[in-house]
């Protein structure tokens, strides 16, 4: 029996990494094996991955030695950071730097870095269409990742830069689902006017990543963007209305209003949506549906994702 090539997956118990671990394990005749990294090998999610056939190992992305152990002997790795766990660009970048260094040390042959644009290339700090945050960012959770692309290149790691997009799972877990207004009518709220928002089922990110690892060399040194659909707020509201059998409206607000909502990260997200709105052609163009479907033939549309997940969306 030929030895399978190990892919070390960071964030394996979470949205992106979980999708990749499952995609690797489901591909019984494939050439890859999944090494799932978690801080707690005894958690329910970790045990579930072990039961499915993953090698589950303990490491914290804040511990460079732990990362080195997790990467040792592997062929490749899926590298992702967890901005919303701490809201710190500096921490996220220190983690990305450790990942690149550990990948180089382990001699990995293919790393996928889950990144996003450095929006300051489109909206320099001097552009006052949106506020500068923390003194040096426009969209902190984007800019920090985009800046960290260079860590992988400079370390000489064979890397694919994977541009993700809005997870529809945010409608379940991130408080973005339809909410009842004063009139009792359900609405989704985005500061996108009539522009299209690329979105994806989080599990499909992992499946696309699996496709990238399978195609290998073709993607090294390349940036690839993925999405399951490009939809306006009105189109998403119509899809909700159809799936839920209840009227759901699209409440378009200005980005400044979204930034003032007051929840943690509201300013970052307000700027992010404004970037996606103001640079719609670039942002959608960088996330081809055809490329995403070629990498992952099971790619879900928003309608298909809603049909499967509508029961899990909290309706307030």
Residues near ligand NAP (CB under 6 A) are 11, 13-17, 38-40, 43, 60-62, 80-85, 141, 164, 166-167, 170, 174
Comparison of 86 and 308: residue with beta carbon closer to ligand NAP: 86
Comparison of 28 and 51: residue with beta carbon closer to ligand NAP: 51
Paired with 56 in beta bridges are: 36
Q: How far is the CB of 247 from ligand NAP (least distance, A)?
A: 25
Q: Which two three-digit tokens encode residue 104?
A: 């180089």
Q: How far is the CB of 227 from ligand NAP (least distance, A)?
A: 11
Q: How far is the CB of 217 from ligand NAP (least distance, A)?
A: 26
Q: How far is the CB of 14 from ligand NAP (least distance, A)?
A: 2
Comparison of 58 and 185: residue with beta carbon closer to ligand NAP: 58
Comparison of 61 and 111: residue with beta carbon closer to ligand NAP: 61
CA neighbours within 13 Å on the CB side: how many for 202?
19
Q: How far is the CB of 19 from ligand NAP (least distance, A)?
A: 8
**Nearest residue by C-beta to ligand NAP?**
14
Residue with tokens 């499946």: 207
Comparison of 16 and 189: residue with beta carbon closer to ligand NAP: 16
Comparison of 31 and 288: residue with beta carbon closer to ligand NAP: 288
CA distances from 184 to 170, 238, 254, 257, 261 (A): 22, 17, 22, 21, 20
Terminal CA-CA length for the chain: 54
Report the distance separating Cα 104 and Cα 79, nearest Å: 13
Q: How far is the CB of 151 from ligand NAP (least distance, A)?
A: 15
* 29 burial type by CB count under 10 A (0-12 exposed, 13-18 middle, 19+ buried): exposed
Report the distance separating Cα 54 and Cα 74, nearest Å: 14
Q: How far is the CB of 73 from ligand NAP (least distance, A)?
A: 19
Edge-to-edge order in the sheet of strand 110-115: 55-58, 32-38, 5-9, 76-79, 110-115, 159-163, 223-225
Reduce the DSSP state of residue 92 to 3 states and report it. Answer: helix
Q: What are phi and psi of 114, to 5 degrees?
A: -80, 105
Comparison of 31 and 52: residue with beta carbon closer to ligand NAP: 52
């Amino acid at each position: 029996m030929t030895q399978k090539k190990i892919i070390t997956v960071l964030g394996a118990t979470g949205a992106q990494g979980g999708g990749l671990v499952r995609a690797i394990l489901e591909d019984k005749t494939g050439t890859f094996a999944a090494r799932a990294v978690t801080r707690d090998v005894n958690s329910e999610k970790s045990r579930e991955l072990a039961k499915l056939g993953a090698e589950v190992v303990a490491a914290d992305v804040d511990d460079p030695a732990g990362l080195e152990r997790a990467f040792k002997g592997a062929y490749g790795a899926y590298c992702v950071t967890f901005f919303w766990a701490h809201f710190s660009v500096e921490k996220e970048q220190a983690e990305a730097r450790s990942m690149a260094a550990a990948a180089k040390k382990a001699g990995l042959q293919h790393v996928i870095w889950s990144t996003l644009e450095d929006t300051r290339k489109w909206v320099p700090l001097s552009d006052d269409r949106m506020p500068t945050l923390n003194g040096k960012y426009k969209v902190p959770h984007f800019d920090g990742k985009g800046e960290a692309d260079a860590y992988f290149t400079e370390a000489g790691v064979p890397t694919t830069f994977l541009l993700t997009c809005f997870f529809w799972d945010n409608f379940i877990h991130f408080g973005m689902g339809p909410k009842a207004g004063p009139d009792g009518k359900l609405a989704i709220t985005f500061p996108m006017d009539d522009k299209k928002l690329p979105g994806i089922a989080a599990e499909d990110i992992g499946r696309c990543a699996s496709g990238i690892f399978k195609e290998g060399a073709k993607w090294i040194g390349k940036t690839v963007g993925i999405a399951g659909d490009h939809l306006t707020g009105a189109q998403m509201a119509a899809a909700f209305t159809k799936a839920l059998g209840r009227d759901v409206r699209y409440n378009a607000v200005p980005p400044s209003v979204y930034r003032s909502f007051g929840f943690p990260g509201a300013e970052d997200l307000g700027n992010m949506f404004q970037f996606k709105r103001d640079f719609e052609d670039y942002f959608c163009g960088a996330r081809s549906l055809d490329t995403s479907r070629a990498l992952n033939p099971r790619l879900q549309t928003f309608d298909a994702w809603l049909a499967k997940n509508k029961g899990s969306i909290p309706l307030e």
